[in-house]
A = this chain, B = another copy of it.
Amino acid sequence: MKIKPHDLSAVQAAGFIASGQLKSVQLVQSCLDRIAETDGAIKAWAYLNPEYALEQAAALDRRRQAGLPTGPLHGLPVGLKDIIDTRDMPTQRGTPIFEGRQTAEDARIVEMLREAGAVIMGKTVTTELAFVHANETRNPHNADRTPGGSSSGSAAAVAAGHVPLAIGTQTNGSVIRPASFCGTFGFKPTRGTIPRTGVLLTSKSLDQIGTFARTLEDVALLADAISGYDQRDPESYPHARPSTVEGARQEVPVDPELAWFNLPFNDRLSEAAAEGLESVIEVLGSRVTRMDPADQLGELVAVQARIHEYEIARHQAEVFDAHWDQISNTLKPIIERARKIGEAEYQDALAVKASAESFFAEFFQDYDAILAPSAAGEAVSFGSNTGDPIFCTLWTLVGLPCVTLPLLVGETGLPIGVQLIGPAQKDDRLLRTARWCQNHIAAKAA
């Protein structure tokens, strides 16, 4: 087997670049070759300029040669969901309404990527306005299936070896689910960890940024590089961020305490997913406590929907008003319904959300993480939507850090993820727990 640069993990590639064994230009060229070879079928990229990517890589190689400081992502190509503004590439938000849209400013996280030494590879396909309606991306494992969404292209590009790292966003299940469907790792840090300035606003209360990669360390490496306080984002918190890459490298001091919730919608799991999760719980043995949570927990799904829909209809009212004829028929009925949600109903939903957050703050005094499905099963057929997000909804609503590990295999051999959810602002501890679970399950399976 011959390893090509695009096969390397981000941590591996960064190591070779730091030691001088690999140039960023070689890595980027290898990724571009891989894209040229496979993206005709996958369609992960909304914008890609190979020359410009290579130029960035060459400049970074010269910088290293000159002995100038290098950042944690020096020379590594990163894909950006096409709702993240870049001053040197269009940001078209998955809709013809924004075709050719070009901003003068970078999103805050793009500034951070440049400072970290990343090559901004291009923009990855998103669903329409990062919501329900699918765009053209296909699952790299099976072109008849969806890659999941709304971060469709980011998940597919990482899974296909186009880039070692990509960024997505999650308002319901848009990082964890596509990662599960595409067989990558996916990590959505605690709400407020990664600033959203310059990223399409779909729900100020729920929008969260997350990362895709092919290893646990890699999703953490990227998340750390784009974590930071930004007062322009009302959810951004003015405190230190944990080092999640250190978390992903740490041994647990004692075996973790995990919880499994018997939730009313668990019957939506496919047979293979349900069996796979059962086998994971068996392997972890006494570390997992099965719980029957109060019924209210299941009701949070409706609370998330109310907030999400109410907010997107208001935040993007101008877009819907001015371009209604260019909105998909998948999205239209949702926006029509959303416009009828009253202020009181919305405020009630926010109050329930706040009390759910208090519940989990308390809950994590006794547990290290919740073990949960990442998705209902394998990637569903390609179509107008990108699959059921319900197994992510609760955790997005309460803003907890979530990570999905590609541990299971479905009925037709497609990947299925296993999700772990941790306490707020202790994302390093979540990744430490995830590492333990991954190693423990691999050891028992061997």
Q: What residues of chain A have their CB less than 8 Å away from a CB belonging to chain B?
A: 63, 67-71, 74, 87, 105-106, 111-112, 114-117, 228-231, 238-243, 425-426, 428
User: Which residues of the other chain, B, contact A63 by a CB distance below 8 angstroms?
Assistant: 239
Q: A111 and B240 in contact (CB under 8 A), knowing A67-B426, A69-B425, A425-B68?
A: no
Beta-carbon contact of A240 and B425 below 8 Å? no
Closest CB in chain B relative to A79 CB, distance in Å: 19
The one of B117, B238, B240 in contact with A74, judged by C-beta atoms closer than 8 angstroms, is B240
Please state if B69 and A111 are interface contacts (CB–CB under 8 Å).
no
A425 / chain B contacts, CB cutoff of 8 Å: 68-69
Which of B71, B87, B230, B240 has a CB less than 8 Å from the CB of A240?
Answer: B71
* Contacting pair B242 A111 (CB below 8 A): no
Contacts of A242 on B, CB cut-off 8 Å?
69
* B residues less than 8 Å from A68 (CB atoms): 239-240, 425-426
Q: Which residues of B contact A112 (CB under 8 A)?
A: 229
Q: How far is the CA of A121 from the CA of B87 in the complex (A)?
A: 37
**What residues of chain B lie closer than 8 Å to A240, measured between beta carbons?**
68-71, 74, 115-117
A229/B74 contact (C-beta < 8 A), A68-B425, A117-B239, A425-B69 known? no
- Chain A contact residues: helix, strand, loop or mixed: loop
Contact B69 A114 (CB under 8 A): no
**Contact yes or no, A111 B231, CB < 8 A:** yes
B115 & A231 in contact (Cβ 8 Å cutoff): no
**Are B69's CB and A115's CB within 8 A?**
no
Residues of B within 8 A of A241 (CB): 69, 115
20 contacts between A and B (CB under 8 A): A67-B426, A68-B239, A68-B240, A68-B425, A68-B426, A69-B239, A69-B241, A69-B242, A69-B425, A69-B426, A70-B240, A71-B239, A71-B240, A74-B240, A105-B231, A106-B231, A111-B238, A115-B229, A115-B240, A115-B241
Q: Known interface pairs A106-B231, A231-B105, A231-B106. Does A114 touch B238 (Cβ–Cβ under 8 Å)?
A: yes
User: Which single residue of chain B is at the shortest CB-CB distance from A241?
Assistant: B69
Docked pose: A221 CA to B116 CA in angstroms: 19
Residues from chain B with Cβ under 8 Å of A106 in the complex? 231
Task: List residues of chain B with CB within 8 A of the CB of A71.
Answer: 239-240
Query: Which chain B residues lie closer than 8 Å to A111 at the CB level?
Result: 229-231, 238
Tell me the complex Cα distance, A331–B28, Å.
55
- Least CB distance, A246 to chain B, in whole angstroms: 10
Give the most central of A71, A240, A428: most B CB within 10 Å. A240
Assembly CA distance A239 to B112 (angstroms): 9
CA A112 to CA B238, docked complex, whole Å: 8
A238–B428 CA distance with the chains assembled, in angstroms: 27
Nearest chain-B residue to A63 (Cβ)?
A: B239
Distance between Cα atoms of A68 and B364 in the complex (Å): 13
Instruction: Write out the residue numbers on chain B whose beta carbons fall within 8 Å of the beta carbon of A87.
Output: 231
Chain B minimum-CB-distance residue to A60:
B239
- Whether B238 and A115, one on each chain, are in contact in the complex, defined by CB atoms closer than 8 angstroms, is yes
Interchain CA distance A106-B239 in the complex, whole Å: 14
